[in-house]
Each structure stands twice: as structure tokens, then as C-alpha cells.
């Protein structure tokens, strides 16, 4: 089951703030919580009680918590990897190993008697997961997630993301990655310019980030790395993640006719399989709306991302919906009725022939 989640930073927040955020997130279908417990500073009992209270509240509303931990915490609390009862008592659903062990320890941890999930780091670019798999872990309790990166220009590249993710996908493990809120200010460190996995996502709106992951199809769960996301972002992420079809954001012309609006925003479009390098074609609309009137609009140049409906001058192609993949000449047969939002145009490169999609205003 694919899920979405939020992050909390308990050393920098109050229980009441976190409770309100979790309540809001839960209304939009969020069911995961990420939080860090890399080391305990101050009174150990006080810190543990604060974590337990928040984790218990999350559990009470159906939100599981994965704790980000390090080997140093095991030493600090005098815990062995063969006894994870401390984390069970905290109420956690699992542990994320920020820094791993040798492979044997991770495999043994997946066989803990409490059903705790063991989530390992996907971003390192080593044969780490193959090493763990050589020790025959219980893969029902083994999952993986990428890092997030607070410093601008340090998020991982698209090529590295694809390479490392493939190493985990081949073992059919549940995977996760981080998207960033554009308003959240809380993270684990003082320096922070968003908290995303992919550097290319750092300044994108959250719907575009989520849709990109959805089109790639290699990540199961998505988590907002920073806190607190706005309600509009929570809603947008939920819609993009749970919609039946990927959503491509469109900036329409202001004077669209009722039938043009219906074609753009009420129809499910299918990328015709005999693909062109110039156009994405959604041909069903020309059949469904062949009796409708599509007067020639002002003839505009066509650039990548332009959204088109065939005009009355387009013969049997009248009413066909198209999206330009490159610049094209226009003699009036193609009415430009809008454009894909500029920051989302790159999503067109990940859309596959015969895949379905919807256009969102």
C-alpha cells in the first residue's frame, strides 16, 4: 500500500503544534510520520516521554512513526541491535537506520519479535542492500528510503536517483523519498533551504514533485521533509498522490468556451501509443465532440507545453486534444487554449505512451 507522510522535529516544537499538524494531515490521507532520534540531548526521561506522547497520539489517529536513528543512539542508551524492545515501548512502527551496520545486524533486526520495520538508507550508491540481502533478512519487515538534503545544490541528481533506486527495486522492497514544502521552516539542522531528495525538486510546488515521482513509478511512499507544510500543500499533495490519473497543471486561456473547458478538465486523456516526437495526442475527444463548434482562435506560435484543441479547419482532427513536445508551426488548424505550467513542462518527458492523465487548472 502506497502512503504519504509528514515529518516532525520534536526538539523544536510543542506537542500541541504537532498534534494540530497531524490532525490536519490525517484529514488528507497522510498515514506516515518521520522523526529523528539520532541522539538524546538533555534529560533522557523527559525527551523519551515527549517522543512517546507524540508517537502514541499518531498511533491513535492511524499514523505510524518511523524513527530515524544512528548506531550512536544504541551506544548512548546501551541498546543492542538484538533487543529492540525500547523502540516498541516508544510506540514506533519501525526504525530508519541513518547510518547502517555491517549487513548482518540489519538482517537480524528484521527478525525482531515486535514486528518493527527496519528502513535502510537508499542514497549512498554502494552495494549496501545487496550485502544485507546476502544475510537473508525477513523482507516483510525490510524497507528503504532516500535521504533528504537541506543545503541547496546537494540533493541527489536524477541519474544517481535512478541508479540507486533500481538497486532496491530489484529486491521488491517498499521504498520512500522526500518532497519539500515551500513554506515549512523546521528541519533537523539550522541551515535549511527545503528538505527534498532530488535537487531538481527544491523550488518546485509540491504537486509537481509528487507527480514526477508518480510518473517515474519507482517510489512507493512520499514524505514531506520539512515542517510545517501549509494546508494547501497537504491538500495538493494528497490530490496528486491519490488521484486515479497523474495530474498535469495547465494555465488556460481566460476566454475558454464551455466545451473547451469540458475537454480540458473533465476528460481523462490517454497518450496515443504511436507516439510522435512533436506531440502528445489524446484522440478520443475528436470523436466524442465531433459535432461541436471550434472556431479558429487567434493564431499563436506553438511552443513546448502548449495545450491544443483542433479547430474547425482541422478536418477529421477537429476537437483532438494535443500537447506540444517542441516548437511547431501553426496555420490556424490548432487552437492554443493554454499551456502546461512552466515548472511542470519537464513532466511531459516522463509521460509514457498509452498512459492516462488529467489536466488540472
pLDDT tens readout for residues 233-286: 999 999 999 999 999 999 999 899 999 999 999 999 999 999 999 999 999 999
Assess if CATH 3.30.470.10 describes domain 249-360. no
Burial class (CB in 10 A: 0-12, 13-18, 19+), 18: buried
CATH class as words, domain 4-242 = alpha beta
Q: How many angstroms separate the CA atoms of 204 and 346, rounded? A: 11
pLDDT band at 29 (very low <50, low <70, confident <90, very high): very high
pLDDT attached to residue 316: 96
pLDDT band at 77 (very low <50, low <70, confident <90, very high): confident
Q: How many angstroms separate the CA atoms of 345 and 273, rounded? A: 20
Q: How many CB atoms lie within 10 A of CB 62?
A: 9
Domain segments of the chain as ranges: 4-242, 249-360
| Ordered DSSP codes for 158-221 | HHHHHHHHHHHHTTT-EEEEEE--SS--B-SSS--S--BSBGGGTTS-HHHHHHHHHHHT--SE
The whole-chain average pLDDT of the chain stands at 95
Q: How many angstroms separate the CA atoms of 317 and 307, rounded? A: 15
Phi-psi region of 300 (alpha: psi -120 to 50; beta: other; left: phi over 0): beta
Mean pLDDT, residues 129-151: 97
**Whether the domain at 4-242 and the domain at 249-360 fall into the same CATH topology:** no
Closest CA to 237 of 224, 218, 220, 226: 224
Model pTM score: 0.95
pLDDT of 359 above 90: yes
pLDDT of 190 above 90: no
Mean pLDDT, residues 1-14: 94
pLDDT attached to residue 303: 97
Stretch (H or E) spanning 36: strand 32-36
Closest CA to 6 of 21, 19, 16: 21
Mean pLDDT, residues 194-223: 98
pLDDT tens readout for residues 294-336: 999 999 889 999 999 999 999 999 999 999 999 999 999 999 9
Amino acid at each position: 500500500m502506497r502512503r504519504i507522510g509528514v515529518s516532525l522535529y520534536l526538539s523544536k516544537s510543542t506537542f500541541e503544534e504537532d498534534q494540530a499538524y497531524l490532525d490536519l494531515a490525517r484529514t488528507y490521507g497522510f498515514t506516515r510520520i518521520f522523526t529523528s532520534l539520532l541522539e538524546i540531548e538533555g534529560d533522557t526521561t523527559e525527551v523519551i516521554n515527549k517522543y512517546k506522547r507524540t508517537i502514541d497520539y499518531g498511533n491513535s489517529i492511524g499514523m505510524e512513526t518511523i524513527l530515524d536513528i544512528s548506531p550512536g543512539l544504541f551506544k548512548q542508551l546501551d541498546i543492542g541491535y538484538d533487543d529492540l524492545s525500547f523502540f516498541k515501548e516508544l510506540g514506533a512502527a519501525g526504525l530508519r537506520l541513518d547510518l547502517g551496520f555491517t549487513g548482518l545486524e540489519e538482517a537480524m533486526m528484521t527478525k525482531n519479535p515486535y514486528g518493527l520495520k527496519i528502513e535502510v538508507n537508499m542514497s549512498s550508491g554502494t552495494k549496501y542492500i545487496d550485502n544485507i540481502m546476502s544475510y537473508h533478512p525477513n523482507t516483510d519487515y525490510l524497507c528503504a528510503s532516500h535521504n533528504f538534503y537541506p543545503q541547496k545544490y546537494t540533493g541527489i541528481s536524477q541519474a544517481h536517483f535512478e541508479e540507486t533506486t533500481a538497486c532496491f527495486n530489484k529486491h521488491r522492497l517498499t521504498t520512500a523519498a522526500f518532497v519539500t514544502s515551500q513554506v515549512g521552516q523546521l528541519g533537523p539542522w539550522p541551515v535549511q533551504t527545503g528538505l527534498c531528495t532530488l535537487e531538481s525538486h527544491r523550488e518546485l510546488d509540491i504537486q509537481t514533485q509528487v507527480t514526477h515521482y508518480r510518473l517515474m513509478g519507482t517510489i512507493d511512499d512520499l514524505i514531506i521533509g520539512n515542517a510545517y507544510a501549509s494546508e494547501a500543500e497537504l491538500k495538493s499533495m494528497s490530490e496528486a498522490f491519490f488521484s486515479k490519473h497523474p495530474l498535469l497543471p495547465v494555465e488556460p486561456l481566460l476566454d475558454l468556451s464551455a466545451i473547451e473547458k469540458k475537454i480540458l478538465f473533465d476528460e481523462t486523456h490517454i497518450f496515443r501509443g504511436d507516439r510522435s516526437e512533436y506531440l502528445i495526442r489524446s484522440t478520443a475527444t475528436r470523436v466524442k465532440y465531433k459535432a461541436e463548434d471550434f472556431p479558429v482562435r487567434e493564431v499563436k506560435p506553438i511552443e513546448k507545453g502548449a495545450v491544443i484543441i483542433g479547430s474547425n479547419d482541422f478536418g477529421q482532427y477537429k476537437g483532438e486534444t494535443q500537447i506540444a513536445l517542441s516548437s511547431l508551426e501553426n496555420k490556424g488548424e490548432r487552437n492554443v487554449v493554454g499551456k502546461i505550467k512552466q515548472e511542470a513542462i519537464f513532466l511531459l518527458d516522463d509521460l509514457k505512451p498509452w498512459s492516462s492523465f488529467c489536466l488540472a487548472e
